[in-house]
Amino acid sequence: MCQSSTAIVAEAQPSSAPSGGAARLVIDLGEAHPEAAVLARTLAIGVGRQITELLADPATDLPAQLRAELAALADALAEQTTGGATVTTLDTPLARAWRAHPAGRGR
């Protein structure tokens, strides 16, 4: 059974990433309603800003590969959050596994 959920899903795979190497962020707030959609968008914007600030800080010492993956993830988050809040129905293997897990039950 497919449940409706309020979610922001951002995935980025930089060209320099090894096959299958991707950065992902999923914010799934469960049942779809306007307040949850706005909150998911707000959280995603905040995460994107924190990633951008982390990468801009000269004291941040990260391997080039991780830096590229984080930069690509920040770009993907910006794409997801520049429009209005969205409500997306997730029916993927990962989403079904999360809902089946005790921590994700009822989402």
The pTM of the whole model exceeds 0.75: no
CB of 7 closer than 8 Å to CB of 29 = yes
Q: Is residue 12 part of a domain?
A: yes
pLDDT of residue 85: 45
1 part of a folded domain:
no
* Dihedral sign for Cα atoms in the order 59, 41, 81, 22: positive
* Per-residue pLDDT at 3: 45
Closest CA to 73 of 46, 48, 97: 48
* Cα(7)–Cα(28) distance, integer angstroms: 4
Element (H, E) at 99: helix 93-100
Q: Residue 2 domain-assigned?
A: no
- Domains identified in the chain, total number: 1
Structure tokens at 48: 């994107």
Which residues constitute the domain of residue 98? Answer: 7-104
The residues of the chain scoring below 50 in pLDDT are 1-3, 84-85
pLDDT score, position 55: 94
Distance CA 8, CA 37 (A): 9
Flag whether 88 is in a domain.
Answer: yes
